[in-house]
Structure 1
């Protein structure tokens, strides 16, 4: 008798961002010990590191804190500005030495890489042009391929590039251009479902068009009833977050179940990390949302698994 068919599934985790954590140290953010405890109480086993310095940076202490709670680490995060010139390499690699060096010791195999925003997420100040010229696009792509190659060779870590609201790579055409200019051996996507939808992107079409470039998922939904006001009135992304532009599922788009199923069919080793963007919220607000979000995802699809 043949074995019954099983549904391909991916590991679902969460991140400090879903608890409103954007910075290593901010008195308005939830203390890291409480964050870890509430992750466990929400039913997750996988987390991201979050901003470097929020969780303990000593690998032995971090391993103890996670291990005592049954938690595991999926990825760290760095920020890059390769379009600005060759001097950005040292900045990126210094971060990588710290962050990839730490997470690789705890078994993580991914680094989520977020490009610098043209408008500050801390002050909403306009820092540079919203678009890149051809020369800047060339520098951007070359820098990420160099970083991805170095991460793979030095740490066995895979670079996952994160398109982002208020960044130079956000729309479908920009993401497509970035993929065309980079090498999939070294540079692939952390497909953030909310940020890609922020500029009207079709997540399922992107997955279908570029299946080999999907290396990691951030799961979130955007509130379309607010989004058009945000875009029409040129509201900075940081301000839009305080208005709850990223909304608790299932009250936004895109629908997460079909995306999880499509990606699970590609590669069951891909992570789906819930990352809602809740900076500025009260410290008591994230936990019940995190718990309900996990229940929603696992109730919507059989392609989600805990570990």
Structure 2
């Protein structure tokens, strides 16, 4: 049987954007499917996440919380390969400002994540500082400001972490400023960068979290470009953020209220962020994360399709 000829595009169809050379590789993460925990009945099964992230047109993923995706490298390699997916990074939470007493416990957590990331061919490990208040209940766990001694521990041990992860697993750590942690906005991030060795420590700039804390992503890229080792693409809803700040709301309830929103409807505008990143002329991952835990299972995929289309219009 003869196949029907393709129909011409309608006059209202938008042309495809011109091809723009770029060294930015775009991906997504379990976070964009409402996944925050290794096991939670409100989260989509890992098989559905892999099916949908591939269906949305992404080729790169992060591992997400350790244990959500299969931790057997052979199983995970088979599941990702047959969907045309590759792994860019693993993710760990650390509390290194607490000093050497937490090193062994921290390293145990880091090592299992790094080993899986290495086995999957990833080149990065995203390191997120621990929360100073509970991200769901709002209970204050410790002072939101670090002492001078805690800053020394944070920077010294993060450098050690970077060197040991590189030596043992061949991965580069990228430290992720995050809402409700001691690294969030311009003051803490620039202090951290100025106090750490660029050979050991790079930054994962999450555009949404940096905006959440009042930072300017474009300015940070232009000022500290050599330290930007990885990007998370995310936007905040300015109106919801204003409510969150006014109410002193912790991060978890803020996400449930919708503080992180679908691009391009929020801030910062991602076009100038991506333009600044392209100007660095380095290989860089830009991983889409739209925090929305918890969410209905049918919500993430349409958003992922629209977001991937939007990013193509930005030239990546």
- Above 0.5 in TM-score? yes
**1:102-126 deviations in Å (ceiling 9; x for gaps):** 1111110000000001011243321
CA distance in 2, matches of 1:218, 1:89: 27
Q: Which residue of 2 aligns with 1:152?
A: 166
Contact 2:134 2:140 in 1 (8 A): yes
Partner residue in 1 for 2:22? 8
2:210 aligned residue (183, 196, 204): 196
Shift of 1:8: 2.8
Corresponding residue number in structure 2 for 1:218: 232
Q: Given the alignment, which residue of 260, 269, 280 partners 1:255?
A: 269
Q: For this pair of structures, how many residues does the alignment match? A: 298
Please list, as runs of the form range in 1=range in 2, the aligned pairs for 1:278-293 lying within 5 A after superposition.
278-293=292-307
Q: TM-score, structure 1 length as denominator?
A: 0.95
Task: Give the counterpart of 1:96 among 110, 117, 125.
Answer: 110
Task: List alignment gaps of at least 5 residues for structure 1.
Answer: none
1:128 aligns with: 142
Q: Structure 1 CA distance, aligned partners of 2:44 and 2:117?
A: 22
Residue 162 (structure 1) aligned with residue 187 (structure 2): no
Match of 2:290 in 1: 276
Which of the pair has the greater relative contact order for Cα pairs under 8 Å at 6+ separation? Answer: 1
Q: Could you list the per-position Cα deviations for residues 42-64 of structure 1 after superposition, in whole angstroms to 9, with x for gaps in the alignment?
A: 11010000000000000000000
Residue matched to 2:86: 72
Whether contact under 8 Å (2:206, 2:234) holds in the other structure is: yes
1:224-268, Cα deviation, whole Å (9 max, x unpaired): 111111111101110000001000011100111221222123144
Q: How large is the Cα RMSD of the aligned pairs?
A: 1.2
Partner residue in 1 for 2:3: none
Could you say which structure has the larger radius of gyration?
A: 2
- What are structure 2's unaligned runs of at least 5 residues? 1-18
